[in-house]
Amino acid sequence: MTRNVEAFDRWIRSDFVAMNTELEELYFAREDRSAVDGIGDAIKQRLCDEGRLLIAPLRAEGRTNDGFETAFHLLGNVGLYMGALRRHELTHPDREEQSPHREASALALHVGAAAGMAPRFATAHLATHNLAVDGVRKSFTALPDEFLFIDENCRAILSFQSAADALRRLVALGVSSPVADVLFDQALTALEAVSRINRRLFDTLDVDRFFYSVRPYYKPYRVGRQVYRGANAGDFSGINEIDLILGLCSARDPYYAQLLLEKMPFMMPGDQARLRDCMATPTMLDAFLSAMADQADAPWFRTNAAAFLTLCDAFGQTARDHHDLLVARFITRPAAGVNAQALSSITASGPPLEVLLRSLERLRDYRCAAPRPDLPTRHDDLERLRRAIGMS
């Protein structure tokens, strides 16, 4: 790490956080919490200038040959800075053809290309690869609700990853393996942990603080000429590895394949590779269905199919938690109370809210194998399997 890289990292972990927190308190104290124009202008200017001064030498240094780690962390820091500029309306993709923050854009594009990722901060920067120093991880603000949100997101991601790891190991053993119980149990424990975390977020996160002071840092913004969508807790491969290995979603389904392709650049390169690998893996549901004709009464079939179905139910539950609890409470309901202008940039992924909600609902229904004649869910196949072992 060069001295310039260190200086920028120190600033991101200290003054940057203090300025964002101060601005959030000013916005939150106002009657219209979503109107940030003309509030705290001196602080906004300081944030913009101090960041630019630290970025200029980094850009001039142009060192991307210090390895992936340096490029990745630098990408996160410049991305947090640009995310904050967007949040404070110091840039807005709709009123510009290219980002007015030229040096930050140039650095982000350079390190993004070097790291093999989109040139903006990604979920991994604030979650699975958010390096803590003296017990403190990176964040935009020091608001307790932001800490709660990023920590619980990270815990849920780590749990999904454990479930995916167990399932990948099970692929190597096959669904008829006598030792499948260990891996089905590990995956189940991990998914039950996700549901507990979802429930905790639902119970403890403050709706207004999340909606007005945390979520706005996840808006899309321009880097150079192009707009890049915001990060979301889903930008890791684990959940899709589970989708594909269980067989609840298919990469042959153009809707789902498009979704995978779209999210790839927002993932760590290692996750991108794991996801590509899973796309070619035969699914467990298909393996059970093809064994059903002559093995339905075999003890291994009854035991392992029951464990598989229980796991699918637990996975479906996490999808229902996400959509019916978290999205409903923290996005859909508060969105009903804001004006059209504030609403237009509420979703981190960019599309209008009702389009986004439909697409999240569709994913929920794939994962729950819901009876949806309009979608290729695996409802009927799971029912056949349940009937075969008397679980329906």
Interface of this chain with ligand HEM, residues 284 to 343, rule: CB under 6 A? 322, 326-327, 330-331
Which of 76, 83, 220, 234 touches ligand HEM by CB under 6 A? Answer: 234
Please give the torsion angle defined by the CA atoms of residues 329, 334, 340 and 341, in that order, rounded to the nearest 10 degrees: -100
> Does residue 347 belong to the site contacting ligand HEM (CB under 6 A)?
yes
- Residue 124 or 233: the one with the smaller Cβ distance to ligand HEM is 233
The stretch among 36-44, 151-159, 289-297, 337-345 that binds ligand HEM (CB under 6 A) is: 151-159
Count residues binding ligand HEM (CB under 6 A). Answer: 25
Nearest by Cα to 120 from 141, 135, 137, 99 = 99
> Does residue 242 belong to the site contacting ligand HEM (CB under 6 A)?
no
Distance CA(85)–CA(153), nearest Å, equals 23
* DSSP state, residue 275: H
> Does residue 201 belong to the site contacting ligand HEM (CB under 6 A)?
yes
Q: How many CB atoms lie within 10 A of CB 154?
A: 20
- Residue 139 or 198: the one with the smaller Cβ distance to ligand HEM is 198
Joined together, the tokens standing for residue 231 give 């990060």
Joined together, the tokens standing for residue 350 give 């960019």
> Does residue 124 belong to the site contacting ligand HEM (CB under 6 A)?
no
Q: Are 340 and 214 in contact (CB under 8 A)?
A: no
Minimum distance of ligand HEM from residue 352's CB (angstroms)? 11
Interface of this chain with ligand HEM, residues 152 to 171, rule: CB under 6 A? 152-153, 156-157, 160
Nearest by Cα to 332 from 367, 360, 363, 371 = 360
Distance CA(108)–CA(87), nearest Å, equals 17
> Does residue 356 belong to the site contacting ligand HEM (CB under 6 A)?
yes
> Does residue 349 belong to the site contacting ligand HEM (CB under 6 A)?
yes
- Residue 117 or 291: the one with the smaller Cβ distance to ligand HEM is 117
- Residue 157 or 191: the one with the smaller Cβ distance to ligand HEM is 157
Distance CA(58)–CA(336), nearest Å, equals 43
> Does residue 362 belong to the site contacting ligand HEM (CB under 6 A)?
no
- Residue 13 or 222: the one with the smaller Cβ distance to ligand HEM is 222
Helix or strand (DSSP H, E) at 226 = strand 226-228
The stretch among 18-26, 161-169, 226-234, 294-302 that binds ligand HEM (CB under 6 A) is: 226-234
Joined together, the tokens standing for residue 16 give 């940057």
3-state secondary structure (DSSP) of residue 184: helix
Q: Which residues contact 144 (CB under 8 A, 6 or more apart)?
A: none
> Does residue 363 belong to the site contacting ligand HEM (CB under 6 A)?
yes
List phi, psi (to 5°) of 135. 85, 0
Nearest by Cα to 246 from 303, 194, 307, 198 = 307
> Does residue 8 belong to the site contacting ligand HEM (CB under 6 A)?
no
Q: Residue 132's Cα: distance from chain center in Å?
A: 19
Which of 239, 242, 278, 314 touches ligand HEM by CB under 6 A? Answer: 239
Interface of this chain with ligand HEM, residues 20 to 59, rule: CB under 6 A? none
Minimum distance of ligand HEM from residue 356's CB (angstroms)? 6
Minimum distance of ligand HEM from residue 290's CB (angstroms)? 27
Minimum distance of ligand HEM from residue 359's CB (angstroms)? 8
C-alpha distances out from residue 235 to 47, 190, 217, 324, Å: 28, 18, 16, 20
Distance CA(196)–CA(241), nearest Å, equals 21
- Residue 104 or 267: the one with the smaller Cβ distance to ligand HEM is 267
Summarize as ranges the residues that interact with ligand HEM (CB under 6 A). Answer: 152-153, 156-157, 160, 198, 201, 205, 210, 230, 232-234, 239, 322, 326-327, 330-331, 347-349, 356, 360, 363
